[in-house]
Homo-oligomer: A and B are copies of this chain.
Amino acid sequence: MKLDTADRDILRLLQTNSQLTMKELSEQVNLSITPIHERIRKLEKSGHIDRYVALLNRKKMGKALLVYCNVTLDKQRRESFEEFNEAVKRMPEVMECCVVSGNFDYLLKVVAEDMEDYNNFYQQNLSVLQSVQHISSFFVMSEIKSTTQLPV
């Protein structure tokens, strides 16, 4: 499915505020309500729009500490990767996890209340995994930018 300018405009707007009314969207996109409605329906069905969510304020939710960590797995064990992937999916503290090129295997983004909370997570959840060989943590001192908006 190919997107035109109007589709892109709609996506750009919904990425910043999903509660805009059809009327507000129609004014900003220069289309009447009917086509706006139809286009959104198609964008949802095609999967361009994945879901609608509420974004919470991390600090207000008591997760003041943000940590990125590099994890190296024990590559001798063939099951290591599957094991680690599944474990990470079940950890609510881990918000992002991916396999990266370079000299470590995984990059994780982890939230915690404070250093003590992170230490508990580290000791009790992360380092206990059989598949984990090495972990190094990078603590976020200042968050310059954090957005869910993809360039459209």
Interface residues in chain A, defined as those with a beta carbon under 8 Å from any beta carbon in chain B: 11, 14-19, 46-58, 60-61, 63, 66, 68, 85, 88-89, 92-102, 106-107, 111, 136, 138-152
Most buried by B among A48, A54, A111, A138: A54
How many copies of the shown chain assemble into the complex?
Answer: 2
Partner pick for A138 among B11, B56, B102, CB 8 A cutoff: B102
Q: A92-B151, A150-B111 are in contact. Are A54 and B99 (CB under 8 A)?
A: no
**Contact in complex: B18, A146 (CB < 8 Å):** no
Q: How far is the CB of A2 from chain B (nearest CB, A)?
A: 11
Residue of B nearest to A147 (CB): B95
- Could you say which residues of chain B place their CB within 8 Å of the CB of A15? 53-56
Quick one: given A88-B145, A139-B100, A142-B99, are A56 and B63 in contact (CB under 8 Å)? no
Rounded to whole angstroms, the CA-CA distance of A140 and B106 in the bound complex is: 9
Q: Is the CB of A53 within 8 A of B52?
A: yes
Please name the residue on chain B nearest to A93 by beta carbon. B151
Q: By the criterion CB–CB under 8 Å, are B145 and A96 in contact?
A: yes
Assess the A49–B56 pair: CB atoms within 8 A: yes
> What's the least CB distance linking A82 to chain B, in Å?
10
Q: Which of B17, B52, B56, B100 contacts A68 (CB 8 A)?
A: B100
